[in-house]
Structure 1
Amino acid sequence: MTHFSPTTRIAVTLLLILLCAAPTLAQSGRSSGGQGRPEDKGPKPKIARVFGSVKDADSGDALPFASVVVKSLRDSMVVDGALTLEDGTFDLREIEVGRHFVEVRFPGYETLRSEAHAFLPRNPESLTWDMGERMLQADITALGEAVVVEQASVMEMKVDRRVFHVGSDLTSRGGNTTELLENIPSVAVDIDGNITLRGSSGVQILIDGRPSGLAGGAREAFLESLPASAVERVELITNPSARFDPDGTAGILNIVLKKNKLEGISGQLQATYGTGDNHDANASLNYRSSALSLSTNLGWNDRMSFMAGETDRTQFWSDDSTSFSSVDRPGDSQRGSLSGSLRAEWRASNAWTVFAGVNANEGIRDGWDSTFTAEQWTGGALNSLNTEALRVEESQKDTRGGDAFAGFERTFGSRDHKWTADVRRSYNTQDGHTDFVDVSLVRGTTTSEVHTFNAQDTQNRRWLAQTDYERPWGEKGKIEAGLKSTWNVDNSGFDYTEADSLFLSDGIYIPVGLDTVAYSFLYDEQIHAAYFTAGHSVGMVGFQAGLRAEQAYTSARLEGEGNLQSEPFDNDYFSLYPSANLFIETDGENTWSASYSRRVNRPRGRQLNPYLDMSDPRNFRTGNPFLLPEYTNSYEVAHQWQRRKTSITSSLFFKDTRDVIRRFTEADTTTGVLLSNFQNLGRQHNEGLELALMLPLGKTGRLNWTASAYRVVNDGSRLESPFSSSGFSWSSRFFATWTLGSDWKLQANSYVRGAAVTAQGRFNGFATLNLAASRDLPGDHWQVTIQAKDVFNTRRWSYSTTTPDFTQEVWRQRESRNLYLTLQYKFGKLDERGRRGSGNRGDGGGDDFMMD
């Protein structure tokens, strides 16, 4: 049997898809003008022309890459067609004469069908049809006055991304952005707030199209402090173009915040009461005139929750003894945050726009945990020994962060020709302290309590400067180029108790030579990049290619006394990141796309820290300063069929990752201590299929269903203890909404995550269901929402680990079944005169392929 490489398989798949699409292209191309007509009449002359522009009816903004199709009035056969340019214009020439109409489609908008027009050879004036500006209405449901607009279409497919409109997501109302992301297809958030995309943790988070310093070292804290009500949409980009930073092997989640595009003053107040002492409130205020825009947001939340967990471990010791331990770990935690933002934009003239803003957040995370361990030994010197022990843990953690940014946009005659630049400075600090008390519960023990502590102070500073230039390339293309530099400085200070050696006595580890240790780990990183992309369209086919070049300088070192200091670990490297996109819209209903990009996951922080952390006597941790970046080649082929309000989207994806960074755990068979560190795997493959279905549920409902299945292959052949693992996993999510009368709306969403293979074991999967209902109160300003989260209390994480030295089964669950009551008040009277907008810098969505 002949074996083909993954790259060859992807190339063959792309070729087959293009071949399958070719007949349709031929039918819809200009040469098919006489299709469906009797051949004995002969071809009609192609001397007609139709031109115009397509815009958003609400904002007045141009709609690039809308599908414009000329159809025969007699039989609705396709005569000609094209996609609008970046400025929303279209110009179709050499159209055959006859009676035709024009159909305009764009995802997320209602289809527009024009009046009929007769192109008659005997009337030369009729051969040129100026359609003027054609306005597309968003597929939306308006509430009250022009104060609120909610998207009825939750998902839409764009050229290089999928866009999820979250304004109508009742099950996230009153929550934070982390909880909001739990409802995005292909995205998973675990019990600790870690985000994965299609099973991979290499996700880059952008805010309004820019990497925020707040989303760096304290990303989880930042997302928990950002109210979900401040988010307009989430864009999922699995194969970003070379314009984007290559960080994040799984792709990019771009969180676009709400902005006011109408003139006047508007605002919103919202408060939520939840069972189990879970409360939050937020307020927003917006002002916009023809020259000035101001927006501000303030959010507060306070969450109390309990956590439970159990671990069953079998461990094999060097003296032929085996221990069986059962660990019960209940706990409570309090998480609170206060966040605020202010942004200003001044449109100095038609050509110049200046913007600036600040963001800040402050949070706490306190915890109280108790760990009860019962352990039994068989064989060896400890045969028949039974012990019980308790560890009590109390922790406090304070976080602070903020950033400030400023920039400008300069246009040259049109929105398609512009130069932009911005600078950003951000900071993050985290101060944490944990106290431990270990107590033996063995009857009659003489072993004393052991008191230890662990403190960490982390500071991050980031500076960023970026400039971009765009201009048209001919009539149907665009070129982009830009420069970007980032400087990161991380300083982590550690202060904790450490022993010269440990021995096990009556179930707890007794330290010998206990002392206080203090040291700092410093990490400096500079990345300088340049990129160039070029895109064009021919008929209904659009393509883009790009290349990004980056030079990285990194240095890590320890600062302390004795063995707590080291020479710098330097790792400088140069990398190229190509990207390519292909987009084909055949007939106004079918859209094909293919994409490729190269991505990187850079090791940072604790992954690189070489010092052995022994603050937990049963679990030691260390980093690896010799870690290499992991590189991913990502391929994807997608198809979308859409007719009216029904669409089906499917995509095949394949990722080939080299030097995968993973945490590995090994057991010391002499002491029983587990040691965790980070290493580079040899390789990982990830390939799968994703489906998305959107369809109406009667006249007042809508269903969005997504499912994905993928296979992961881990190759650890380059490690000292080689291993390999592979397995399939799947997930499914549905989101259903119904409108009852003019005041009530009901929603339900469910997420099921199947079992998955991990580097050293298996994740067992889980399922959850959320319900919500909202009602508009009289007066068109008030709305009340009630939610039930995790109705059946099934949001539980469980996994198994198997190594030659130990096996274990673990489950953990954080409080997730709660009821929430949210009251929302919206105010302001907006004037539609300000709807023309000020460009992509205002909404963060300006990095679409060949479009702003």
Structure 2
Amino acid sequence: MKRTFLSKFRIVLLTVMLTVCAGKTMAQAPAQETSEQAVKGSSRISGIVLDSAAAKGVEFASVALFSASDNKAIDGNTADETGKFSITKVAPGNYKLLISFIGFKDKTIDNIKVEKGKDIELGSIQLSSSIQNLKEVTITGEKSLIEEKVDRLVFNAEKDITSKGGDASDLLRKVPMLSVDLDGNVSLRGSSNIRVLINNKPSTIIASNVADALKQIPADMIKSVEVITSPSAKYDAEGSGGIINIITKKNNLQGLTLNIDSGVGNRGTNLGLNGSYRKGKMGFTLGGFGRAFYNKAESLLDQTTFSNGNAYLTKQTSDAKDRGLFGQYTLGWDYDLGKNQALSAGLRYGTRNFIQKQNLYISQFENSILDQNSQRKVDRKDLSGTVDMNVDYIRTFKPQQEWSISTLYSRTNLTNNFNTDLLNESGAISGRLKNDNKNYNTEFTLQTDYQTPVGKNQLVEFGVKGIFRTVNSNFKYLTATESGDFSLSTNNPSGVLNYNQNVAAGYVSYSLSTKNKYTFKVGTRYEFTGIAADLGEKGSVAIPNYGNIVPSINVSKSISESTTLKAAYNRRIQRPGIQQLNPNVNLSNPQSISTGNPALSPELTDNFELAMSTNIKKTYVNASVFMRQTNNSITQVRMAVDTLQGAIVTTFENIGKQQAYGMNVFANVYLTPKWTLNGSVDVLHSYLEGQAVTESGTSELISNSGFNYGGRLMSQLSLPQGWGLQAFGFYRGKEIQLQGTRTGFYMYSLGFKKDFANKKGSIGFAAENFATKGVRFTSDLNSAQFIQTGQTQLYNRNFKITFNYSIGKMNFNAPKKKTKSVDNTDVVGGGDAQK
């Protein structure tokens, strides 16, 4: 295979470009009347609809144009996300405009005189709040499952029936372009180096382990998931694969509310309480969510290592019982300081308690002759507590001109311990081993941003940011006899890691919209990273400081009212995370050892993307092709251990080069107004190149490549009397790794719910993998030093009953202005860093 990626990459994008002639929204007007007048002119009427209380755009407000002479509707349109609207092809004449939106008073603008060839710019149009009791309002519209925005794809998770009782990782399996393995590790278009934000905010727990962080978030509390494949310069340069922003459900209601969510199942149980109080300019929210889960797994491992002409075979079998308790508790406060100012603060505590009890049986052979049998009982504890505190301020001067200051303090305490009983052939305890691995991660972030419009079609954004991060780890090994006290082990490694990382960043971004429906967003960002690291008494680790310029270019073209083309390029940085840095050696399984590498450097990735989205009658389609090249890749490598017969150690090195290209196609079809069918197909080709150790101990260049296929299919049906059904299926194909492959797996579910007559609650039932015992997958790895085959069976068949109910006095309130918050989109997450 050629090593020049761009020369070997060929994209063949086969699309059928259909021009969809969709008539614009009209209020109370026959079609023939609009066509007689609206298409004859060449003038345009435009403006921006604003909330008078918040000086922010009213997104999706309805705008209708009427003839002043006979009061007949001529044309209409809908405002965009910023409140901007325009009505084109208007003939000369006298008109009036009617603007309306739920929660606001209608507003009429009279005496609009259009002259031939001249455009009318109405400027800012203020709408006043119209507070009504919710029971007096009937909302008939339905938000689409998938929304395509300028820089992101939005999956509206609140429409998912079977999400109740699960966690965020269960939900993310249904999102286009995302893939989630059975451990909860998330990848975007085949890359696991992504950033995950919660309500636009980072957290230290995400920096240490994305998979475990997602388990803290109940799926039924997620409103939407935003997939940002080509982040602009405004975002941190971290995350080679892109950004995933999880938006949780928020309450914009006046009064006192309380919502109860619960679920009981054979694999997991959850309980959530969410309350809010808002009166006037001040609001409070208080929430608590907890989820307990229980699972069972069995695994097999055959591992052969080669040394000095001998072959050492290890056969392992294990059975494990997993149980965990994940939760988060939040307290939020916001206050409108004035017409154009807002202040908010938040406190979040997340907890994770994962406990595993494993029986491990090991048989070792030398040149096919049994050498010894052994047994271990391993108790693992993976515990954490995370505190996030933020204070945010925003001031709006005029539409799209605003200044914000955001602060964030975050700290996570992590404990990753194991206790092992060593058993002899008779099953009696012959010795004990303990690993204490305690570490913490703290961050303080200060950020300020400013944006201002330039003319009618341009926007300039710039800002600066500082992140001050500290990681500390203290690990030690202790041994004991079957009845004695533990003492510090002299044969197994102990030590510390002190890691300080400071990032200073600045960016500038420029947006331009042209009359021929092109939108350009270009920018650049500079980040300087300073690192100081040491291993305590063992001395410092030589890691140089580095500075990076990361450009980004996004271009979109509206071909028609329903079809948009996009092209993008950006450069991204990927810094190593705590699990990849921590030098603690995990010896719970003596034949399969893992450790981090504190000397890791960041990797750089160039991303290219071309995408198209369109609506064809009742079908939405999004198709994209992409390619990326990563140098200095942080790659997971395995090698034999000279001092421990038959053992393999897994660590991380900056020795890889990764090239990938692929495509994703997603479609959502409304079979009927109440029945939807949607699905996606992913195709990815990966090429990995890096160094591996030969049997003689020297280094050699190796490579691996192959295709990965995946997809998902989901159907939802709304039935009379509050009934709803949903079916879902997911498949993830073979994963290519530098030293082998990991087979794919599939999951499926079926669920229904019944809304109560008062619409204040529902009860539901869901089943997952109900026709099989669970999921099985295998991995095949090899090098000149070893051959390894592993197989794992998860017994994750699940049945669950869900219940939720809301109480309290609720009144509709006009959308209040939102303060901005810190977005720390950097640091590699936990889990498998192999892309």
The code of the aligned residue for 1:607 comes to Q
| CA deviation profile, 1:784-842 (whole Å, cap 9, x unmatched) | 0111022234433321101112212112233421101011101234323x223213649
Does residue 89 (structure 1) correspond to residue 62 (structure 2)? The answer is no
Alpha carbons of structure 1 residues 483 and 513: separation in structure 2 relative to 1, 3 Å: closer
Does residue 247 (structure 1) correspond to residue 215 (structure 2)? The answer is no
Q: Distance in 2 between matches of 1:129 and 1:579?
A: 32
Does residue 285 (structure 1) correspond to residue 262 (structure 2)? The answer is no
Q: Distance in 1 between matches of 2:617 and 2:61?
A: 15
Q: TM-score scaled by structure 2?
A: 0.83
| CA deviation profile, 1:475-527 (whole Å, cap 9, x unmatched) | 0121111111111111111011489xxxxxxxxxxx99855764211111000
Partner of 1:506: none
Q: Distance in 2 between matches of 1:273 and 1:359?
A: 25
Does residue 795 (structure 1) correspond to residue 768 (structure 2)? The answer is no
User: What is the CA-CA distance between 1:427 and the residue it aligns to?
Assistant: 0.6
Q: Distance in 2 between matches of 1:828 and 1:202?
A: 43
Partner of 2:300: 310
Instruction: Report 1 or 2 for greater relative contact order, CA contacts < 8 Å, sequence distance ≥ 6.
Output: 2
Q: Distance in 2 between matches of 1:594 and 1:618?
A: 48
Partner of 2:635: 662
Query: Which of 509, 518, 523 is the equivalent residue of 1:541?
Result: 518
Q: Distance in 2 between matches of 1:708 and 1:236?
A: 15
Alpha carbons of structure 1 residues 753 and 261: separation in structure 2 relative to 1, 3 Å: same
Alpha carbons of structure 1 residues 615 and 811: separation in structure 2 relative to 1, 3 Å: closer
Partner of 1:450: 431
Contact 2:57 2:399 in 1 (8 A): no
User: What is the CA-CA distance between 1:673 and the residue it aligns to?
Assistant: 2.1
Query: Which of 539, 542, 550 is the equivalent residue of 2:527?
Result: 550
Alpha carbons of structure 1 residues 547 and 739: separation in structure 2 relative to 1, 3 Å: same
| CA deviation profile, 1:152-192 (whole Å, cap 9, x unmatched) | 52111111110011112122112222322232222223233
Alpha carbons of structure 1 residues 290 and 366: separation in structure 2 relative to 1, 3 Å: same
Partner of 2:801: 821
User: What is the CA-CA distance between 1:768 and the residue it aligns to?
Assistant: 1.1
Alpha carbons of structure 1 residues 86 and 482: separation in structure 2 relative to 1, 3 Å: farther
Contact 1:147 1:828 in 2 (8 A): no
User: What is the CA-CA distance between 1:615 and the residue it aligns to?
Assistant: 6.1
Q: Distance in 1 between matches of 2:118 and 2:453?
A: 31
| CA deviation profile, 1:349-387 (whole Å, cap 9, x unmatched) | 111101111001223222110111234443xxxx53354
Q: Distance in 2 between matches of 1:100 and 1:727?
A: 62
Partner of 1:297: 287
Query: Which of 24, 42, 48 is the equivalent residue of 2:43?
Result: 48
Alpha carbons of structure 1 residues 98 and 177: separation in structure 2 relative to 1, 3 Å: same
Q: Distance in 2 between matches of 1:704 and 1:467?
A: 40
Q: Distance in 1 between matches of 2:610 and 2:530?
A: 35
Does residue 224 (structure 1) correspond to residue 200 (structure 2)? The answer is no
Q: Distance in 2 between matches of 1:7 and 1:196?
A: 26
Partner of 2:712: 733
Q: For residue 245 of structure 1, give the secondary structure of its aligned residue in structure 2.
A: coil
Contact 2:356 2:380 in 1 (8 A): yes
User: What is the CA-CA distance between 1:65 and the residue it aligns to?
Assistant: 10
User: What is the CA-CA distance between 1:608 and the residue it aligns to?
Assistant: 3.2
Partner of 1:778: 757
- Percent identity over the alignment is 24
Q: For residue 570 of structure 1, give the secondary structure of its aligned residue in structure 2.
A: coil
User: What is the CA-CA distance between 1:584 and the residue it aligns to?
Assistant: 1.1
Contact 1:481 1:533 in 2 (8 A): yes
Does residue 438 (structure 1) correspond to residue 414 (structure 2)? The answer is no
* Alignment size in residue pairs: 772
Contact 2:304 2:646 in 1 (8 A): no
Alpha carbons of structure 1 residues 587 and 63: separation in structure 2 relative to 1, 3 Å: farther
Partner of 1:631: 604
Q: For residue 167 of structure 1, give the secondary structure of its aligned residue in structure 2.
A: helix
Alpha carbons of structure 1 residues 675 and 395: separation in structure 2 relative to 1, 3 Å: closer
The code of the aligned residue for 1:313 comes to Q
Partner of 2:412: 428
Contact 1:60 1:836 in 2 (8 A): no
Alpha carbons of structure 1 residues 305 and 586: separation in structure 2 relative to 1, 3 Å: same
Contact 1:147 1:827 in 2 (8 A): no
Alpha carbons of structure 1 residues 843 and 87: separation in structure 2 relative to 1, 3 Å: farther
Contact 2:469 2:502 in 1 (8 A): yes
Q: For residue 223 of structure 1, give the secondary structure of its aligned residue in structure 2.
A: helix
The code of the aligned residue for 1:292 comes to M
Alignment of 1:254-653 (within 5 A): 254-276=245-267, 278-318=268-308, 320-378=309-367, 384-385=369-370, 387-412=372-397, 414-441=398-425, 449-497=430-478, 518-539=494-515, 540-560=517-537, 565-610=538-583, 616-653=589-626
Q: Distance in 2 between matches of 1:160 and 1:675?
A: 41
Q: Which moved more, 1:359-368 or 1:619-628?
A: 619-628
Alpha carbons of structure 1 residues 216 and 698: separation in structure 2 relative to 1, 3 Å: same
Query: Which of 207, 225, 237 is the equivalent residue of 2:228?
Result: 237
Partner of 1:153: 144
Partner of 2:687: 713
Partner of 1:39: none
Alpha carbons of structure 1 residues 186 and 93: separation in structure 2 relative to 1, 3 Å: closer
Q: Distance in 1 between matches of 2:251 and 2:141?
A: 14
The code of the aligned residue for 2:253 comes to L
The code of the aligned residue for 1:395 comes to R
The code of the aligned residue for 1:315 comes to T
Does residue 162 (structure 1) correspond to residue 146 (structure 2)? The answer is no
User: What is the CA-CA distance between 1:703 and the residue it aligns to?
Assistant: 1.1
Structure 1 alignment gaps of length 5 or more: 29-43, 71-78, 110-116, 136-141, 500-510, 845-852
Q: For residue 839 of structure 1, give the secondary structure of its aligned residue in structure 2.
A: coil
Contact 2:408 2:445 in 1 (8 A): yes
| CA deviation profile, 1:435-489 (whole Å, cap 9, x unmatched) | 1123343x8x9x9823211111111111011111011121012111111111111
The code of the aligned residue for 1:690 comes to N
Partner of 1:112: none
Query: Which of 646, 661, 666 is the equivalent residue of 1:692?
Result: 666
Query: Which of 161, 166, 176 is the equivalent residue of 1:175?
Result: 166
Alpha carbons of structure 1 residues 701 and 143: separation in structure 2 relative to 1, 3 Å: farther
The code of the aligned residue for 2:752 comes to A
Q: Distance in 2 between matches of 1:623 and 1:657?
A: 21
| CA deviation profile, 1:607-641 (whole Å, cap 9, x unmatched) | 33456665653234443343221111111111011
User: What is the CA-CA distance between 1:285 and the residue it aligns to?
Assistant: 1.0
Does residue 199 (structure 1) correspond to residue 182 (structure 2)? The answer is no
Q: Which moved more, 1:189-198 or 1:734-743?
A: 189-198
Contact 1:481 1:530 in 2 (8 A): yes
Alpha carbons of structure 1 residues 643 and 290: separation in structure 2 relative to 1, 3 Å: farther
Alpha carbons of structure 1 residues 99 and 219: separation in structure 2 relative to 1, 3 Å: same
Contact 1:258 1:843 in 2 (8 A): no
User: What is the CA-CA distance between 1:843 and the residue it aligns to?
Assistant: 13
Q: For residue 208 of structure 2, give the secondary structure of its aligned residue in structure 1.
A: coil
Partner of 1:139: none
Alpha carbons of structure 1 residues 788 and 612: separation in structure 2 relative to 1, 3 Å: closer
Q: Distance in 1 between matches of 2:611 and 2:692?
A: 34
Q: Distance in 2 between matches of 1:840 and 1:176?
A: 27
Q: For residue 329 of structure 1, give the secondary structure of its aligned residue in structure 2.
A: strand
Contact 2:151 2:230 in 1 (8 A): yes
User: What is the CA-CA distance between 1:698 and the residue it aligns to?
Assistant: 2.7
Contact 2:225 2:245 in 1 (8 A): yes
Q: For residue 535 of structure 2, give the secondary structure of its aligned residue in structure 1.
A: strand
User: What is the CA-CA distance between 1:694 and the residue it aligns to?
Assistant: 0.6
Q: Distance in 2 between matches of 1:478 and 1:129?
A: 18
Contact 1:85 1:476 in 2 (8 A): no
Partner of 1:672: 646
User: What is the CA-CA distance between 1:416 and the residue it aligns to?
Assistant: 0.6
Q: For residue 607 of structure 1, give the secondary structure of its aligned residue in structure 2.
A: helix
Alpha carbons of structure 1 residues 65 and 241: separation in structure 2 relative to 1, 3 Å: farther
Aligned-CA RMSD value: 4.3
Q: Distance in 1 between matches of 2:488 and 2:385?
A: 37
Q: For residue 214 of structure 2, give the secondary structure of its aligned residue in structure 1.
A: helix
Contact 2:342 2:819 in 1 (8 A): no
Structure 2 alignment gaps of length 5 or more: 24-38, 66-73, 103-109, 128-132, 481-486, 694-698, 824-835
